[in-house]
Amino acid sequence: MRGGMFIKRLVREAEKSMKLAITPYSDFKVGASIATKREKIYTGCNIENPSLMLSICAEKVALLKALSDGERSFKAIAIVSNKQDYCYPCGSCRQILWEFARDIDVYLAGSAGVKKYSMREILPYAFNKVSF
């Protein structure tokens, strides 16, 4: 699929997923879609819990769905929210994306268009495995 069309599809899938978010406490809905190298797309939305520490981010849902389906090679992730501004992944999501998909492109969609980053730009000082 051509680059521009692929990105539009990835953002559209993230937007669809965002509509399924369960956010009774913050009303901050987030959707994510992650594409494998073969361009298979997995989606996720954020899900809140009264104990906010048990809530889960959209990016993690999408990535974990793909990983649990046996996927190991990723191409890109798109992230959207119901707010007008860009929704950058939280620190925890940045680290898990680094661990399992460090070479992907990160697309953030907002009212001003789509921004593209590499994981190295999003997480310049990533924690890496330490050998003992």
Question: Which residues are identified as catalytic?
Answer: 59
DSSP 72: -
CA distances to 29, 35, 63, 66 from 69, in Å: 25, 13, 10, 5
| Residue 22 structure tokens | 């369960």
Contacts with 74 (C-beta within 8 Å, 6 or more apart), sequence order: 34, 35, 36, 37, 66, 100, 101, 103, 104
Q: What span, in angstroms and rounded, lies between the C-alpha atoms of 30 and 81? A: 4
